[in-house]
Chains A and B, each alone.
Chain A
Amino acid sequence: MLRFVIRRLIHSVLTVLGVMLLTFLLFRVVAGDVSTDYVNPRLGQAGRDVWKHKHGLDRPWYVQFRDHLVTSVTFQGESYQTKEKLTTIIRKRAGYSLALTVPALVLGWISAMVISCFVAYYRDTWIDRIGVFLSVLGMCMPFLAYMIIGQWLMFKISPVAAWGLRYRANIYLPIGIGVIAGLGASVRFYRTIILDQVNQDYVRTARAKGAPLTTILFKHVIRNCMLPILTNLVMAIPFLIMGSLILENFFGIPGLGGLLIDSITRRDVPIITGLTYLTSLIYVISLLITDLLYGVFDPRIRLN
């Protein structure tokens, strides 16, 4: 077990280092010089040189790379635009993102589980067929369409609730859209997983001994489906803090996802670097934790 933990830890550290290398290559080397976006063009080359010197962009590449590693690990990035520290920005904005994503994830997960159990329970009947048909339609609908139609409907009902966060209740609309837009894909995914289990021997045994169908479904089957379902949930964790980029951007919610998109248009490299790094760090950590938990609960994975 110890060997397994150590090996997984080394892998995670290497992945995080890889992400730092990748962000350096993409945002410093490929993206190149962004000084023209921040320095008054009338100051010319001299002004740009001063700006570059101030942000340490005129030093040799290996010094810059070392700086990049240090700022990434310590989250000391500082916005070119507002001079704000990354940590301050995260503290200020993460709450809005969490207020949007946590309810959306929980509600989305519960409703997808309930619907997919229901659909799987009535498998091969018209209820199942309609359910699958609707979920395929739902997942093929572009995400943007949900947003625009949702906002338009809300505008008809109450125009002030259709944009921004002037009132606390305005968050319900983006949450609802997040839940509904994700429902199709989740229902379809969970249904396949549940149906894989339904045909197993232990289900037949449980039925033979006379257990009621609801007990079988919610007690035996769900437990065995937990592995893929948990993996699916872990994949959503990085987006909890980042928030839904497009929803935040569209509804004017001042969270981190909207900030990332704004930083792209403003070419605010430290913010983009920091947020990208933060997301992958959370992703790697949550993946590590799930893997370790699997290793604890399922010896087959540990031995591989």
Chain B
Amino acid sequence: MTTAATNDIAIETRAGRSLWSDAVRKLRRDPVAVACFILICLYAAIAIGSPWVLSDWSQSFNYDNLNQAPSGEYILGTDTFGRSVFQKTLLAASTSMTVAFTATIIAVPLGMLLGAIAGYYGGWVDDFIVWLFTTLASIPGIIRLIAIKFAFEGKILFEGTSFELNLGGMAGLCIALGVMNWVGTCRLVRAETMKIRQLDYCLAARSIGTGRFITLLRHVLPNVAHIGIINFSLGFHGAISAEVILSYLGLGVKDAPSWGRMIASAKMDMVVGRWWELTAAVGATFIIILAWNIFGDRLRDALDPKLRNS
């Protein structure tokens, strides 16, 4: 009987291919998705490499070359201190990618865990978590981020220890984006968990004496993992845009180059004909957001076509 059942399942899933390998196959056959993935990897490589290679950029003042237009020596010209705008853009990529990555790596697991707990345990736990995220979500969009960044201004956690966290700087930005962006993931995971909880295999696990928490970890969470992956890619470009806007407003990173700060400092330059710093920052932001956007959509289609409209 067991063999027959296994055979049935094998036939249904087309020769035993899992959801994941199926998704990878679909994505690999899609040239646009591959191109976007390569672009994302390129940005990631720049993000990791540029702070090492260009470590002395911030001090590389050159007062003979202020505000130079793009030329052979400086591909994207120079800024108001005579530093290379091209290198600045690469360093800003590092800032953006680090912030977005850290924020999403906080937000998605948090949302998944809370969503799974709420959906699985139900009762007052569910009520409390739902109340928590409705409250957070009822402060709309950017105001929520501005509010938490305001509260963090000038705060330093664990001062004097080796775990020192400056909440006014980049760490604060990551935490602010992280603790504010888990709502969407939580909502989806909660709904999916409520469905999965009632399926036969969860009941089977419970009936042979598996504890509730273990069932949640072993049998429910792996089956909502794809929502986490999809939300990671969707959350990533949201976090990049948020970082750019916050830095533009002066509430984001202050001690590192950032596309938002480049746009803020170049916003009056267009009038006097200095277009290169703005173009570099806008172009760099545009390309990575476009790549994540398309890749995220393809990933969602490959992993879960049902989620399309949510």
Interface of A with B (CB < 8 Å)?
Answer: 11, 14-16, 18-19, 21-23, 26-27, 30-32, 136-137, 139-145, 148-149, 151-152, 155, 192-193, 196, 228, 235, 238-239, 242, 245-246, 249-250, 260-261, 264-265, 267, 272, 275-276, 279-280, 283-284, 287
Partner of B290, one of A136, A239, A272: A136
Q: How far is the CA of A205 from the CA of B149 in the complex (A)?
A: 54
Q: When A140-B293, A193-B309 are in contact, do A260 and B151 touch as well, CB less than 8 Å?
A: no
Q: How far is the CA of A144 from the CA of B264 in the complex (A)?
A: 9
How many Å from the CB of A212 to the closest CB on chain B? Answer: 28
Q: How far is the CA of A264 from the CA of B151 in the complex (A)?
A: 10
Q: When A27-B147, A238-B140 are in contact, do A19 and B135 touch as well, CB less than 8 Å?
A: yes
Chain-A contact segment, one of B47-55, B87-95, B97-105, B242-250 = B242-250
Q: How far is the CA of A283 from the CA of B308 in the complex (A)?
A: 25
Q: When A137-B290, A192-B308 are in contact, do A144 and B248 touch as well, CB less than 8 Å?
A: yes
A-contacting residues, B238-269, CB 8 Å: 241, 244-245, 248-251, 259-260, 263, 266-267
The residues of B that contact A267 with a CB separation of less than 8 Å are 150, 153
Q: When A31-B150, A31-B151 are in contact, do A18 and B131 touch as well, CB less than 8 Å?
A: yes
How many Å from the CB of A188 to the closest CB on chain B? Answer: 10
Q: Which of A18, A151, A284 has the most chain B CB within a 10 Å cutoff? A: A18
Contact between A260 and B270, CB atoms less than 8 A apart: no
Question: What are 13 A-B contacts defined by CB distance under 8 Å?
Answer: A15-B134, A15-B138, A18-B135, A19-B135, A22-B136, A32-B155, A136-B290, A143-B241, A144-B260, A144-B267, A155-B271, A246-B142, A250-B267
How many Å from the CB of A113 to the closest CB on chain B? Answer: 17
Q: How far is the CA of A289 from the CA of B260 in the complex (A)?
A: 37
Contact between A30 and B245, CB atoms less than 8 A apart: no
Contact between A148 and B140, CB atoms less than 8 A apart: no
Contact between B270 and A148, CB atoms less than 8 A apart: yes
Q: How far is the CA of A17 from the CA of B132 in the complex (A)?
A: 11
Q: When A148-B270, A192-B308, A242-B143 are in contact, do A264 and B150 touch as well, CB less than 8 Å?
A: yes
Q: Which residue of B lies closest to A149 (CB)?
A: B270
Contact between B150 and A272, CB atoms less than 8 A apart: yes
Partner of A276, one of B139, B248, B278, B293: B139
The residues of B that contact A235 with a CB separation of less than 8 Å are 140
Q: Which residue of A lies closest to B134 (CB)?
A: A15
Partner of B270, one of A11, A22, A152, A249: A152
Chain-A contact segment, one of B7-15, B16-24, B281-289 = B281-289
Contact between B146 and A264, CB atoms less than 8 A apart: yes
Q: Is B165 an interface residue (CB 8 A)?
A: no
How many Å from the CB of B64 to the closest CB on chain A? Answer: 28
The residues of A that contact B147 with a CB separation of less than 8 Å are 23, 26-27, 272, 276
How many Å from the CB of B289 to the closest CB on chain A? Answer: 5
Q: Which of A32, A151, A249, A276 has the most chain B CB within a 10 Å cutoff? A: A276
The residues of A that contact B142 with a CB separation of less than 8 Å are 245-246
Partner of A142, one of B131, B132, B249, B286: B286
A-contacting residues, B41-100, CB 8 Å: none
Contact between A245 and B143, CB atoms less than 8 A apart: yes
Q: Which of B136, B142, B151, B285 has the most chain A CB within a 10 Å cutoff? A: B151
Q: Is B294 an interface residue (CB 8 A)?
A: yes
Contact between A280 and B131, CB atoms less than 8 A apart: no
Contact between B249 and A280, CB atoms less than 8 A apart: no
Q: How far is the CA of A282 from the CA of B259 in the complex (A)?
A: 33
Contact between B150 and A139, CB atoms less than 8 A apart: no
Partner of B245, one of A16, A143, A148, A239: A143
How many Å from the CB of B286 to the closest CB on chain A? Answer: 6
Q: How far is the CA of A196 from the CA of B303 in the complex (A)?
A: 19
Question: Given A142-B285, A144-B267, A272-B150, list of 19 further CB < 8 A pairs?
Answer: A15-B131, A26-B148, A30-B151, A31-B153, A32-B155, A137-B290, A140-B286, A141-B286, A142-B244, A145-B282, A152-B270, A192-B309, A196-B309, A245-B146, A246-B248, A267-B150, A280-B139, A283-B139, A284-B138
